[in-house]
Amino acid sequence: MLVDDGMRGAIDQFLTGLEVDRGFAGNTISAYRNDLDQFLKYVQDPPADDRLSPLTNWNQLGESNLMAYTLHLRTREYAASTIARKTAALKSFSAFLVERGITRADTAENLTSPRVEKYTPRSISPAEIDQLLAETAKAAADGKPEGLRDQAMMETLYSTGMRVSELVALNVADLDLDRRIARCTGKGDRLRQVPLRTSAINALKAYLDHGRSRIAPNEERSLFVNHRGSRLTRQGFWLILKAYAKAAGIEDITPHTLRHSFAAHALRTGYELRDVQQMLGHVSISTTQVYRRIASANGTESALSQD
């Protein structure tokens, strides 16, 4: 059955509101769009076994449609976390329909999400961080532009706890090495300043003075560039990280592992939770509190210091 423009239009309006009015990140918007598109297809052409009438307007939506759909998801063995996200999208969209007067009652009011186990971010130990940074230092010692760049990237990422998307989006103008800060743009286009520790500043100076100018054209604004002189991508950084991690004997690492490690090590070495929240760019401090669960892990020495 073809998707009705009116029903599709309501979804588009809802997602636009999340992006413009509430500052939801692009990845979240995309996930919600996929979730609601899947639900729209279901209610317009429900499986015969569910014995539901197809919907042609959202004002026909009832609690039975939502209950049947969540059961439909469970029987197809979706992960609990996926069902919870899809349920959250449905509850928000149902509230939107009531707010716009499209439906009279919130049909998702009694909709429940499956229990999702508490997520504990994975970090690596301070010793493993030291090994990783030592490998980038070896590469930089050769004086090649790529080695100087890689050391500057790893030091900056671990020094600040940036997301890799924020790291590769940096421009040269975003650095203020005299003030020991970098300016980055996070989720919802929120700007923040993050402090740089001495090792990151030294690595960035070496890269800017002796590496970047040898591979980047004069008009290029990007701070970190690939061998062709254009902005490095997230995928490009991940490949670089995996190569250094392999050399350091570290398994199962992602760019976000360094962000998690920064947060856990910062709390372990005496940073206040509120300071770590600001450096990570979390809107809610409850998001940052999860790192308390790993901050007390074995080992007390950290590569981080409040220098």
The residues annotated as belonging to the active site are 163, 187, 256, 259, 282, 291
* CB proximity list for 157: less than 8 A, separation 6 or greater: 164, 167, 255, 258, 259, 262
CA atoms of 148 and 162, how far apart (whole Å): 19
Helical residues (DSSP H) of the chain, grouped into ranges:
5-20, 26-44, 63-75, 80-99, 126-141, 145-160, 164-168, 198-210, 234-247, 255-268, 273-280, 285-289, 292-295
Contact at 8 Å (CB) between 82 and 31? no
| Number of other CB atoms surrounding residue 182 within 10 Å | 25
Look at residues 44, 92, 34, 93 and name the one whose alpha carbon lies nearest to residue 65: 44
Distance, C-alpha 269 to centroid of its chain: 24
Contact at 8 Å (CB) between 132 and 248? yes
